[in-house]
Structure 1
């Protein structure tokens, strides 16, 4: 059973990868190209309540995230934002950061906050076809490693 946060961010449609404790999902609203949501599968609402296994698995999943996003978007920096103001399940918004823009399916994705703090808006809301395409591309890169 998945939690409400994973469902809100499009699980299972947006699933890039899954580990024992984490789901890697494409963020439907993209402040930067290939923004993700990393959702813990455990039923916890505080980071300190994660099991030791989930903390250990976090190292594995972040290596996969960084490898995949580096290959896909060529980021200069990466930000992991644990906001949890609306969606209470433990999760991170993962934003690859870069100067200038990146193009995907005829749209330009500009990092509006570069080189300062990330901005979650403006963002490009992906339609179903673009979400599926981005998810498939990232899933293929993840799987190739």
Structure 2
């Protein structure tokens, strides 16, 4: 499948956690919070209203699967979803797990710099995206 520029910007197939008919879940290369992901619509559209109806219907399953994998891997206290599409124009959401404390991953505490306010997208909890991707792939609910 040919992917649009926004999919590639967030790491493309290298960052892929799970693929659906209308969405892909990518591990956000810059981990602003532990487990940060990007939900990228496959449709080559830049307006949310232009997605096919089936993409809206499928989105519920994508979110439920993501949150189940995150609970199993990192136990976030809350989830934030941001749809900005200013720099990267194709329809996508940033899915940011939020933590009141500082969860530990790979032996290091990974604090949520923005807690309890808005997420700090300029923050980084370390160069850990491949390990986070692998943890979420392992915890992903079976599709079928």
TM-score (norm 1): 0.92
Note if 1:120 corresponds to 2:118: no
Bigger proportion of residues as strand: 1
Deviation at 1:144, TM superposition (A): 5.2
User: Counterpart in 2 of 1:134?
Assistant: 132
Q: How does 1:76-87 map to 2 (within 5 A)?
A: 76-87=77-88
Q: Structure 2, unaligned stretches of length 5 or more?
A: none
Structure 1 residues 143 and 60, CA, compared in 2 at 3 Å: closer, same or farther? closer
Number of aligned positions between the proteins: 142
| TM-score, with length taken from structure 2 | 0.92
Provide the alpha-carbon RMSD of the alignment.
Answer: 1.4
Name the residue aligned to 1:56.
57
Shift of 1:48: 0.7
Structure 1: gaps of 5 or more residues? none
1:1-145 residue pairs with structure 2 within 5 A?
1-126=2-127, 130-143=128-141
TM-superposed CA distance for 1:94, in Å, is 0.5
CA gap 1:49/1:77 in 2 versus in 1, 3 angstroms = same
1:11 CA drift (Å): 1.2
| In 1, Cα distance between equivalents of 2:140 and 2:87 | 29
| Aligned equivalents of 1:118, 1:133: Cα separation in 2 | 21
State how far apart, in whole Å, the 2-side matches of 1:89 and 1:107 are. 34
- Residue 96 of structure 1 aligns to a residue in which SS? strand
Shift of 1:143: 4.5
1:66 match: secondary structure: helix
4+ residue segments displaced more than 4 Å: none
